[in-house]
């Protein structure tokens, strides 16, 4: 993994070596020679590290030598960064003085210090080179790992097998009619045994869905916060927890649950104390409510309830172990037979046996094998390295094996997951931008760094090192999670090489003196962290209140993320080389000019994420930062206009979201942003002509969101735009419902390869379905009218025929149309009739129809064979019977209640 670090250092040295300063000033000539000597030495070291990383190393001497090399690379990075920080401040504007000093042979203190540091590094390099010869550290492990064939990598997550009996046993406990009291059912077992998977199977069983009116899923971290747990429960009960303390919140939760027969799942409970506190807000109204707990500890289960013996989840038997392993390891088209594959089948049984029935180990090891060539030698080579004894630690060792076999550039990307708290739902694009800012992603031909980062994440998902908890309509990862066992491995490995340290409490700072990156997971910060952390730290990521923190000490800081509260601008001024800055604060709004001037001075800033901040007009400053790649602004801009007055050279800009079009924009300069991939823009009051000029300059946009103004697609058109063939997602929003524009779609009006289309604030001028159903790639379609449809029959409460209503529209979905559509939302539209032909929307999974009176329930709805979630709501109760009949005929169909909060799952039964 050290090769990634060495690449960064070598690149820095190469840039340093060609500084004009070397050519103009005599005192720097010696430094140039030192730098070039270091570069040559590091190139040889890099090749050694590549071999060390691609071969299986079991020799502790070799590992110690590699770690020493990494320490030297860290030293070099520190020395060069500090020099570059000092030198540019002294050279510009002082050339005449420097020339005079140079003629006198004067050595500057910062130059002398740099030369001394270089001398010490060279001595250390000579020393470890002597160790290499003395202790014969000259051959590394076995042959290189065979390269995997990407065509053999299985796509998508496969369901864990072997839990049918366990699920039925737990469902029986939950549905026990003889016990009406509030009862706790516990699933107990070690990490990696599949407790969470089993709990989800239980909650998704039809009997459980039909029995409980409310099912709430809460994931508990090892270092939980009780108030945070209560807030999650409250949010799921549609209680606003803002400003409420524990007792107040507990009372409201009690009152809400008292009226329901509920099922609450507490996943991964670590302590008895948590249950004691949670029990205080769980009413027992003798109606058969249940609580389901998963835990690693039997004492937690015993403390929670003694009515039932806790369910100890057994390991998988040999049959199910092999089945699960093969599902992950073998592509579907390969089947074992009496031929050569019989040898692989024999090896598969040996691999499965090593996992001792632990599902996580089987999944991770099987996924690792899926990346190997599909032959006996490739599999057997890996098997021969797995020679550990039966000491009860199979799961973590198998996971470590999968980690060791990651390509070198992906190891550090995996270790970066250690920065995030347990069970944290991680935004994939945020993670990928962090990887890029950290220089963990290599540049690949014909790909942006972000595109390569997305491929890296997908590879980690396919290897089962990471879980894709949610995907975009185009199939790319939207949110991801890491199993706590895998996260523990990342934390351990990151700590071993000083890559990243996690501070869970203030006392942890004493262990972070050498860490390059620090993640802070606590909020009780009473003193500035500058008193604790190393001044050479490169990254600080916060997952708690950071308003009292001072960053001014960190001269070489590159990444500063998740900053909350009232932060002083002085904190940032000490870090001129920041590449990534994420703020969640109202502070900017009160310090706009000063903050803007500071941003303009940031020559290395790549990502500015202000989505959760209040800000105003940054146009005079941010648009002149040539290095910027991603600008994510906020909707809450206090009425200001965050658009550029004049553009700088923004050829690196790829993401520009929630920006407002400014009349002072100079369209002649817009080619400077032609590399944009994502654009979210408010075009209020701008003529269609200007909009067409803007869009006509863009070539690579795949996501386009335009809002506020009435957008007439027929006038603007899309066919001539350079990005017409590439556009995947189109979002058009009119925030003025009183000025709704008729939506009339013609053929070839929309980009042909759209995967996602969202329209809001339109009234249907004609049936749009004949045009939309021809979009062969469309996965998600959402059409929203006004926030409230004028419905003359809204007050009727009888079940008589609704008849037709003026301006109501008939729509039709034809057989063979919408071939890939999986999600359809129709809301606040005047619809009278909807005809669904047999064979229409064959892949539709989620359907939501809200406030579309006087629309009748279409008979063809029952023929949507793949429909899994349905939400049908109108102003009247006229057709509830028809909807109830559909749920009765389709017992696997669930009521679709879209998750509002992201961190947990809410399932409403009918």
SS (H, E, C) 15-52: HHHCCHHHHHCHHHHHHHHHHHHHHHHHHHHHHHHHHH
Q: Is the pLDDT of residue 320 over 50?
A: yes
Exposed / middle / buried, residue 71 (Cβ in 10 Å: 0-12, 13-18, 19+): middle
Mean pLDDT within 235-258: 83
pLDDT of residue 154: 33
Answer positive or negative: Cα dihedral of 417, 418, 422, 427.
negative
Could you tell me the two tokens for 54? 């691609």
Q: Is the pLDDT of residue 427 over 50?
A: yes
Rounded to whole angstroms, the Cα distance separating 606 from 604 reads: 6
- Residue 112 CB coordination number (10 Å): 11
Q: Is the pLDDT of residue 498 over 50?
A: yes
- Residue 317 CB coordination number (10 Å): 11
pLDDT of residue 24: 43
Rounded to whole angstroms, the Cα distance separating 245 from 227 reads: 8
Written in H, E and C, the secondary structure of 431-496 is: HHHHHHHCCCCCCCCCCCHHHHHHHHHHHHHHCCCCEEEEECCCCCEEEEECCHHHHHHHHHHHHH
Exposed / middle / buried, residue 381 (Cβ in 10 Å: 0-12, 13-18, 19+): middle
Lowest mean pLDDT of 125-139, 465-479, 495-509, name the range: 125-139
Contact 192, 160 (CB under 8 A): no
Rounded to whole angstroms, the Cα distance separating 217 from 206 reads: 17
What stretch of H or E contains 345?
Answer: helix 341-354
Q: Is 240 helix (H, G, I), strand (E, B) or coil?
A: coil
Exposed / middle / buried, residue 807 (Cβ in 10 Å: 0-12, 13-18, 19+): exposed
Rounded to whole angstroms, the Cα distance separating 726 from 27 reads: 53
Which residues lie closer than 8 Å to 81 by C-beta, 6 or more apart? 12, 555, 556, 577
Contact 313, 188 (CB under 8 A): yes
Most confident of 338-347, 533-542, 679-688, 859-868: 859-868
The mean of the pLDDT values for the chain is 75
Q: What is the DSSP letter of 316?
A: P
Mean pLDDT within 44-49: 64
Most confident of 187-191, 246-250, 386-390, 844-848: 844-848
Phi, psi angle pair for 825, to nearest 5°: -125, 125
Written in H, E and C, the secondary structure of 827-889 is: ECCCEEEEEECCCCCCCCCEEEEECCCCCCCCHHHHHCCCCCEEEEECCCCCCHHHHHHHHHH
Determine what percent of the chain is predicted with pLDDT higher than 90: 13
Biggest alpha carbon distance in the chain?
103
pLDDT tens-digit readout, 139-194:
444 444 333 333 333 333 334 566 788 888 888 888 888 888 888 888 888 777 78
Mean pLDDT within 855-871: 89
Exposed / middle / buried, residue 143 (Cβ in 10 Å: 0-12, 13-18, 19+): exposed
Q: Is the pLDDT of residue 305 over 80?
A: no
Most confident of 183-197, 703-717, 884-898: 183-197
pLDDT of residue 188: 85
Contact 298, 310 (CB under 8 A): yes
Cα separations in angstroms, 345 against 42, 337, 727:
45, 9, 45
Mean pLDDT within 886-904: 60
Q: Is the pLDDT of residue 209 over 50?
A: yes
pLDDT tens-digit readout, 341-353:
777 888 888 888 8
Q: What is the DSSP letter of 521?
A: -
Q: Is the pLDDT of residue 392 over 60?
A: no
CA-closest candidate to residue 521, choices 273, 271, 221:
221
Phi, psi angle pair for 810, to nearest 5°: -100, 135
């Amino acid at each position: 993994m050290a090769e990634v670090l060495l690449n960064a250092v070598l690149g820095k040295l190469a840039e340093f070596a060609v500084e004009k300063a070397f050519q103009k000033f005599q005192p720097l000539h010696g430094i140039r020679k030192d730098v070039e000597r270091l570069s040559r030495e590091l190139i040889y070291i890099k090749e050694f590290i590549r071999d060390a990383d691609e071969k299986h190393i079991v020799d502790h001497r070799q590992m110690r030598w590699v770690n020493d090399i990494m320490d030297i690379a860290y030293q070099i990075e520190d020395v060069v960064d500090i020099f570059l920080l000092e030198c540019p401040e002294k050279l510009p504007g002082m050339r005449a003085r420097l020339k005079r000093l140079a003629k006198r042979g004067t050595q500057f203190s910062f130059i002398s210090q740099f030369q001394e540091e270089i001398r010490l590094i060279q001595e250390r390099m000579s020393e470890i080179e002597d160790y290499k010869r003395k202790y014969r550290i000259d051959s590394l492990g076995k042959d290189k790992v065979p390269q995997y064939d990407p065509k053999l990598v299985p796509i998508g997550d496969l369901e864990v097998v072997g839990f049918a009996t366990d699920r039925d046993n737990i469902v029986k406990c939950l549905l026990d009619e003889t016990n009406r009291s509030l009862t706790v059912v516990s699933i107990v077992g070690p990490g990696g045994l599949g407790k969470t998977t089993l709990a989800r199977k239980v909650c998704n069983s039809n009997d459980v869905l039909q029995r409980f009116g409310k099912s709430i899923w809460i994931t508990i971290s090892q270092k939980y916060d009780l108030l945070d747990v209560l807030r999650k429960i409250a949010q799921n009960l549609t209680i606003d927890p803002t400003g409420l303390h524990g007792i107040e919140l507990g009372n409201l939760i009690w009152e809400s649950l008292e009226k329901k027969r509920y099922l609450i799942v507490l996943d991964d409970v670590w302590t008895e104390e948590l249950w004691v506190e949670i029990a205080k807000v769980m009413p027992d109204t003798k109606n058969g409510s249940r609580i389901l707990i998963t835990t690693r500890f039997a004492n937690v289960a015993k403390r929670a309830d003694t009515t039932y013996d806790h369910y100890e989840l057994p390991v998988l038997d040999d049959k199910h172990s092999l089945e699960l392993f093969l599902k992950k390891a073998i592509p579907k088209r390969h089947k074992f037979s009496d031929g050569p594959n019989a040898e692989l089948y024999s090896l598969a049984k040996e691999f499965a046996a090593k996992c001792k029935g632990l599902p996580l180990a089987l999944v991770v090891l099987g996924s690792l094998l899926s990346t190997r060539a599909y032959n006996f030698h490739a599999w057997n080579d890996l098997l021969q390295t797995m020679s550990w004894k039966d000491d009860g630690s199979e799961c973590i060792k198998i996971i470590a094996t999968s980690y060791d076999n990651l390509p070198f550039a992906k190891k550090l990307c995996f270790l970066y997951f250690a920065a995030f708290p347990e069970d944290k739902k991680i935004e994939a694009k945020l993670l990928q931008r962090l990887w890029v800012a950290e220089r963990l992603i290599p540049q690949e031909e014909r790909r942006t760094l972000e595109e390569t980062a997305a491929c890296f994440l997908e590879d980690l998902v396919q290897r089962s090192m990471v879980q894709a908890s949610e995907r975009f309509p185009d199939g790319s990862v939207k949110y991801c999670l890491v199993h706590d066992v895998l996260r523990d491995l990342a934390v351990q490995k990151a700590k071993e090489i000083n890559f990243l340290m996690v501070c869970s409490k203030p006392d942890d700072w004493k262990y972070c003196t050498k860490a390059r990156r620090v993640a802070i997971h606590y909020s009780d910060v009473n003193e500035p962290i500058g008193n604790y952390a190393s001044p050479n730290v490169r990254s600080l990521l916060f997952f708690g209140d950071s308003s009292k923190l001072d960053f001014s000490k960190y001269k070489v800081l590159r990444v500063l993320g998740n900053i909350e509260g009232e932060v002083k601008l002085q904190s940032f001024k000490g870090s001129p080389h920041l590449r990534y800055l994420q703020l969640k604060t109202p502070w900017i709004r009160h310090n706009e000019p000063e903050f803007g001037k500071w941003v303009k001075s940031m020559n290395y800033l790549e990502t500015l994420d202000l989505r959760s901040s209040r800000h105003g007009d940054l146009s005079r400053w941010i648009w002149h930062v040539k290095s910027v790649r991603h600008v994510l602004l906020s909707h809450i801009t206090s009425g200001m206009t965050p658009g550029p007055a004049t553009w700088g050279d923004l050829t690196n800009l790829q993401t520009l979201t929630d920006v407002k079009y400014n009349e002072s924009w100079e369209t002649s300069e817009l080619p400077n942003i032609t590399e944009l991939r994502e654009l979210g823009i408010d075009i209020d009051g701008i003529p269609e002509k200007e909009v067409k000029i803007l869009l006509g300059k863009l070539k690579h946009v795949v996501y386009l969101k335009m809002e506020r103004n009435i957008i007439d697609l027929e006038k603007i058109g899309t066919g001539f735009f350079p990005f017409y063939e590439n556009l995947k997602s189109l979002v058009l929003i009119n925030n003025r419902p009183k000025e709704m524009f008729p939506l009339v779609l013609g053929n070839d009006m929309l980009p042909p390869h759209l995967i996602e289309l969202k329209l809001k604030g339109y009234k249907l001028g004609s049936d749009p379905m004949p045009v939309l159903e021809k979009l062969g790639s469309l996965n998600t379609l959402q059409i929203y009218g006004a926030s409230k449809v004028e419905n003359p029959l809204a007050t009727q409460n009888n079940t008589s025929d609704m008849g037709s209503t003026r301006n109501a529209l008939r729509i039709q979905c034809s057989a063979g149309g919408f071939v890939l559509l999986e999600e359809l939302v129709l809301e606040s539209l005047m619809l009278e009739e909807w005809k669904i032909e047999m064979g229409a929307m064959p892949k539709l999974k989620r359907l939501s129809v809200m406030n579309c009176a006087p629309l009748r329930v279409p008979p063809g709805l029952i023929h949507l064979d793949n429909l899994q979630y349905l939400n049908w709501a109108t102003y009247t109760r006229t057709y509830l019977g028809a909807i109830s009949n559909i749920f009765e005929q389709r017992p696997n169909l669930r009521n679709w209640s879209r998750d509002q909060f992201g961190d947990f799952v809410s399932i409403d039964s009918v």
